[in-house]
């Protein structure tokens, strides 16, 4: 657990005064709806209990000063009339700089800042530590500078920050929305085309979320993530031609329509499109199952999602498949699948709370016997969204 007082003390020790505020933003885990967000589809994430914390004050100069307690690294840069430079050797600072630069491009004047950051979101496991850092920067500056930026607009601004040259990942909007808008003990059902959303009850008394780390590290910029986006764009072009209508996204092609035209689309684009279209339907089925309290139906959708990600979208790996398949064999698990972009990262299992340890032990034994390394895991329940937690007087 992160100790807020320790962050405040670290800030005071470094800068000689208390921070003006401390903010927090959670990571997220996506229950279902993978690679649908950038295709205008549906997603169903929850905010997790792991999060980024940021102590912030304005400074009386034009210098941005960032310090990471996790990495024990400092980054400084000067605000000038021209765009900020990308941090070359301190990657984590670029997420903060990207948000600041997006705010500057809207005409907002950013003063000098003093910032101390600490977090406990596991990095590289598909839990969106990057979006949490962006959102934490955004809510901090919104509060500190008294900016009138609605939540939706701030989430979209942080998404643009991740698309920018400072980060370079063409992510969908799910991660930022989940960090900013999810609610405790509820999942966030988000329509990524209209940006309409609602929260859906998650039965914490019946189910707990286990997040298993596959042990396979992946950096989205260096993987095939952007290639999958390009394949989906090509798929949309071909679907439009086959249907002879100008649908705006793949989400607007029904499973029945796709079934009638799929033979006209070459592989591997056909399989990529099939995943997106069927995954959207699985999200809708999952929302209905949660609203009706049917955890078995919900779990079945998760299992089918993994099979589609494995075979049609081809973003799984051996380690993820081992974790998921072993978890699915347990009678105490409703469903399991990879979560996040894939290519490594994490898998989730939705398990009965009283049998969580038994599930973890079973999966760990198989994994460790096969790969000769310890399987790391986290437990979480749907958690509260980003907020400003604490004020101190200078």
Catalytic residue ranges: 175
Q: How far apart are CA 89 and CA 99, in angstroms?
A: 18
Residue 44 · residue 197 · CB < 8 Å: no
Q: How far apart are CA 223 and CA 217, in angstroms?
A: 11
Q: Which neighbouring-strand residues pair with 269?
A: none
Q: How far apart are CA 370 and CA 368, in angstroms?
A: 5
Q: What is the DSSP string of 89-142?
A: S-TTHHHHHHHHHHHHHTTPPP-EEEEEEEE-SPTTSSS-HHHHHHHHHHHHHH
Q: How far apart are CA 287 and CA 273, in angstroms?
A: 22
Specify the DSSP class assigned to residue 70.
Answer: T
* CB proximity list for 205: less than 8 A, separation 6 or greater: 353
Alpha helices in the chain (DSSP H): 4-15, 93-105, 129-144, 151-163, 174-181, 225-243, 255-261, 269-292, 295-311, 318-328, 356-371
Residue 202 · residue 188 · CB < 8 Å: no
3-state secondary structure of 384: coil
Q: How far apart are CA 390 and CA 377, in angstroms?
A: 30
Using alpha carbons, list the distances in angstroms from residue 180 to 51, 92, 154.
12, 20, 9
Omega before 268 cis (within 30°)? yes
């Amino acid at each position: 657990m992160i100790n807020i007082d320790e962050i405040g003390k670290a800030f005071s020790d470094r800068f000689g005064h208390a921070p003006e505020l401390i903010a927090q933003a959670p990571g997220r885990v996506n229950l279902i709806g993978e690679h649908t967000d950038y295709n205008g589809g549906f997603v169903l994430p929850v905010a997790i209990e792991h999060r980024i914390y940021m102590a912030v004050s304005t400074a009386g100069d034009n210098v941005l000063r960032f310090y990471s307690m996790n990495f024990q690294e400092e980054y400084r840069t000067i605000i000038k009339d021209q765009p900020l430079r990308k941090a070359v050797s301190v990657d984590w600072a670029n997420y903060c700089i990207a948000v600041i630069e997006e705010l500057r491009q809207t005409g907002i004047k950013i003063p000098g800042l003093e910032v101390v950051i600490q977090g406990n979101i596991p990095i590289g496991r598909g839990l969106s530590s990057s979006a949490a850092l962006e959102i934490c920067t955004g809510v901090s500056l919104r509060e500190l500078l008294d900016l009138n930026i609605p939540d939706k607009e701030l989430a979209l601004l942080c998404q643009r920050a991740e698309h920018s040259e400072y980060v370079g990942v063409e992510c969908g909007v799910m991660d930022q929305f989940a960090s900013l808008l999810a609610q405790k003990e509820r999942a966030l059902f988000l329509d990524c085309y209209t940006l309409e959303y609602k929260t859906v009850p998650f039965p914490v008394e019946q189910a707990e979320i286990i997040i298993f780390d596959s042990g396979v590290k992946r950096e989205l910029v260096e993987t095939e993530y952007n290639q999958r986006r390009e394949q989906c764009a090509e798929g949309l072009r071909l679907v439009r031609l086959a249907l002879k209508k100008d649908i705006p996204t793949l989400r607007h092609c029904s499973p029945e329509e796709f079934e009638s035209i799929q033979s006209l689309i070459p592989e591997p684009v056909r399989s990529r499109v099939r995943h997106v279209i069927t995954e959207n339907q699985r999200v809708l089925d999952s929302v209905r199952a949660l609203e009706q309290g049917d955890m078995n139906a919900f779990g079945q959708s998760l299992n089918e999602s993994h099979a589609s990600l494995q075979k049609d979208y081809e973003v799984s790996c051996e380690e993820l498949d081992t974790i998921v398949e072993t978890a699915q064999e347990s009678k105490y698990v409703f469903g399991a699948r990879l979560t996040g972009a894939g290519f490594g990262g994490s898998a989730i299992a939705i398990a009965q709370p009283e049998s969580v340890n038994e599930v973890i032990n079973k999966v760990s034994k198989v994994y460790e016997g096969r790969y000769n390394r310890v399987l790391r895991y986290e437990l979480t329940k749907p958690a509260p969204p980003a907020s400003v937690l604490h004020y101190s007087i200078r």
